Structure 1
Amino acid sequence: MFQHALLNEIVAFIAVAEYGSFTLAAASMNSTKSSTGKAVKRLEEELGLKLFNRTTRSIRLTEEGKIFLDAAKHAIDTINEAKLLLDARKDEAAGRLRVNLPIGIGRDVVKSLPIFTQTHPKVSIELSLSDRFEDAIQGEWDIVVRIGNLDDSTFIAKKLCDTKRILCASPEYLSKKGTPKNLGELRNHDAILYRLHTGKLRTWMFQESNNEITEMTPSPLAVFSDGRSFIESVISGLGIAQTYDKALNSAIKNGELVELFPESAIPGPPVNALIPSGRAMPAKTKAFIEFLKEQLG
């Protein structure tokens, strides 16, 4: 049994194990390499075990170190869960908030972050943009935003807004290739398609005047599987593309893109904020969800 709490030493040990470097671990904790090394040494002395095999070129966990790392991380997670419960009791939003957003929507949210940070100065944001569903279910995110529902029982979905699937192109492309006068003329234009995480191409879909849905898979000039390249290619004038309106709000508003055949746009899936289940929702999480609703709505 520990003679002392040694919480700081345990945190230092976990950081060194995760970063594989005393220098990087120290930087992550705003500490020094020397202090971090001494903290790990104190922990080893308390345990009476060697946690790392050190050479001039590498640092590797011993077998005992691997066993202790799992137990230490579990203990820290338990402490963090308790802190989350305490945060939920606070009226004021504060603390670090980890958010994962799809790239298209995330581009606009990043631009609006100063609005949130000015209103909630005690919240620090760690934000990542990714379209990969794997990134949504891995990692300890406080909020994961996705278009459509993520079939994972470890999350609770909070609807942020609805979407439309719209067709768009840049003014430069339209001045060079001409503006299509009807849906049939789209087959004569350069099409940009998006490859879904399933490997399938996302088809173009339109609503006719009789409310029937028409589906089209044009021969693509280019195919992209990440939102950043996909959107930038359309803005750069590569061709015509169809995607969700919430990913293009600012680009259309500032004139970088032009919406084509808005009367034929069809409803898309909702945008959801996914929250880990089994936790009380802290004030910082509630505040950011309200911020997202305002920005996307």
Structure 2
Amino acid sequence: MFQQALLNEIVAFIAVAEFGSFTLAAEQLNSTKSSTGKAVKKLESELGLNLFNRTTRSVRLTEEGQIFLDAAKHAVDTINEAKLLLDARKDEPAGHLRVNLPIGIGRNIANTLKDFTQNYPKVTVELSLSDRFEDAIKGEWDIVVRIGELSDSSFIAKRLCHVSPVLCASPEYLSRRGTPRNLHELREHDAVMFRMPTGKRRPWIFHETNGSTIEMSPNPLALFNDGRTLVDAVVSGLGIGQLYDKALGSLLKTGELIELFPESAVKGPPINALIPSGRVMPAKTKVFIEFLKNHFN
């Protein structure tokens, strides 16, 4: 099977066929007559055919050479068209974009995805929601969004924003159990907590009046290992939970959740868009990262 010929050998053959001269073809290719002749000879050797009838005065295609010329020109034209298409896609966002997001913030992003698709109709977005970083590593994702600092060197981190932990409860819960008057009274209430992929509970974090930071890990009434279910549980009145603000959407504005002790709130970890290292970032990836920044901020 003919597989070994390189593209420059085919290009040399096409130039000789079109100019009818090794000398003129070499000038066109910014090469030498000797190099052009060797390239054509190698191509003929790979094919096992003579592509040209050569005399001291002329170079003419054989019948087989004419057949190969037609096919070769079509192939080179197809490659050039593909390159032009790819060059255009560097500037124009287009194609299939695969994005992996944490469950809690991912659903809120899905609710605003219409804005992105209207601005970039040639981009098809595939969203996958998972809180486990292992799931992201296994998949061939264009963008992986995660909360926390980057620890995997196979990704490059693009900072999107920081999250803030918000201690909150539903009006129904506070009406039923009462509103805690200080942080110490939280231990008397029903706690709803998040279990991290490591298996540990995510502690509640607060600023104290003296400026120090404290962690609290009350005995939970319920534990959840995905952020959205945790939010839903707190909204339902199950208990008090410390939730990331980027997962809340409009729940505080609509009054479905009430923030407790806002004066004790701390700045939380960053949200990063992780891009596989070693890849050129296409336009579709760049514009989606900008969309994420606008969404979070």
Q: Is the 8 A contact 1:88 1:280 kept in 2?
A: no
1:179-218 deviation digits (Å, cap 9, x = unpaired): 1111111111110111111111111111011111122111
Say if 1:160 and 1:296, in contact at 8 Å, map to a contact too: yes
In the TM superposition, what is the alpha-carbon distance from 1:131 to its structure 2 partner? 0.3
Q: Which residue of 2 aligns with 1:152?
A: 152
Alignment of 1:134-145 (within 5 A): 134-145=134-145
**Using the alignment, how far apart are the partners of 1:228 and 1:89 within structure 2?**
35
How far is 1:178 from its partner? 1.4
* 1:156 match: secondary structure: strand
**Structure 1 position 2, deviation (Å):** 7.2
The share of aligned pairs that are identical, in percent, is 69
Which one has a bigger Cα radius of gyration? 2
Q: CA RMSD in A?
A: 1.9
The 5-angstrom pairing of residues 147-186 of structure 1 reads 147-186=147-186
- Which residue of structure 1 lines up, in the alignment, with residue 290 of structure 2? 290
| Cα 1:162–1:88 shift into 2, 3 Å | farther
User: For 1:250, what is the secondary structure of its paired residue?
Assistant: coil
Amino acid at match of 2:292: L
* Secondary structure of residue in 2 paired with 1:166: strand
Aligned residue for 2:69?
Answer: none
Report the Cα offset of residue 228 of structure 1. 2.5
What is the CA-CA distance between 1:109 and the residue it aligns to?
A: 0.3
Q: Distance in 2 between matches of 1:160 and 1:228?
A: 20
**Aligned counterparts of 2:208 and 2:153: Cα–Cα separation in 1:** 37
Which residue is 2:208 aligned to?
Answer: 208
Give the TM-score taking structure 1 as reference length. 0.70
Alignment of 1:129-278 (within 5 A): 129-278=129-278
Indicate if the aligned counterparts of 1:87 and 1:282 stay in contact, CA closer than 8 A. no
Q: How does 1:57-96 map to 2 (within 5 A)?
A: 86=86, 90-96=90-96
Task: For residue 87 of structure 1, report the CA deviation from its aligned partner.
Answer: 6.2
Displacement of 1:151 after TM fit?
Answer: 1.3
* Structure 1 residue 133: Cα displacement: 1.1
**Paired AA for residue 139 in structure 1:** G
Matched letter for residue 281 of structure 1: M
Amino acid in structure 2 at the alignment position of 1:264:
S
- What is the deviation of 1:258? 1.4
Query: Which stretch shows the higher mean deviation, 157-166 or 251-260?
Result: 251-260
Taking the aligned partners of 1:88 and 1:222, their CA distance within structure 2 comes to 52
Partner of residue 121, structure 2: 121
Question: For the Cα contact (< 8 Å) 2:105–2:228, is it kept in 1?
Answer: no
Going from structure 1 to structure 2, the CA distance change for 1:2 and 1:113 (only over 3 Å counts) comes to farther
Runs of 4+ in 1 over 6 A off after TM superposition: none
CA distance in 2, matches of 1:147, 1:255: 26
For 1:69-124, what per-residue CA distance to the aligned partner results, in whole angstroms no more than 9, with x for missing partners? xxxxxxxxxxxxx99x9368632111110000101111110000001001111111
- Distance in 1 separating the partners of 2:139 and 2:87: 20
Q: Secondary structure at the residue paired with 1:90?
A: helix
- Amino acid corresponding to residue 254 of structure 1 in structure 2: T
| Contact 1:93 1:120 survives alignment (8 Å) | yes
In 2, the alpha carbon distance for the partners of 1:88 and 1:255 equals 47
Q: Deviations over 1:51-86 (max 9, x none)?
A: xxxxxxxxxxxxxxxxxxxxxxxxxxxxxxx99x93
Say whether the 8 Å CA contact 2:228–2:247 is kept in structure 1: no
Q: Read off the aligned partner of 1:250 and give its amino acid letter.
A: S
Question: Separation in 1 of the partners of 2:229 and 2:176?
Answer: 21
Partners in 2 of 1:172 and 1:146 — Cα distance? 32
Cα pair 1:108 1:250 within 8 Å, conserved: no
Letter in 1 for 2:164: K
Partners of 1:286 and 1:177 in 2: how far apart?
A: 48
Distance in structure 2 (CA, Å) of the matches to 1:189 and 1:2: 76
Task: Give the whole-Å Cα distance in 2 for the aligned partners of 1:87 and 1:285.
Answer: 15
Determine whether 1:280 maps to 2:280.
yes
Q: Is the 8 A contact 1:93 1:122 kept in 2?
A: yes
Q: Distance in 1 between matches of 2:250 and 2:187?
A: 27
Q: Distance in 2 between matches of 1:165 and 1:2?
A: 63
C-alpha separation in 1, matches of 2:202 and 2:255: 25
For structure 1, the residue ranges without an aligned partner over 5 or more in a row are: 4-81
Equivalent residue number for residue 33 of structure 1: none
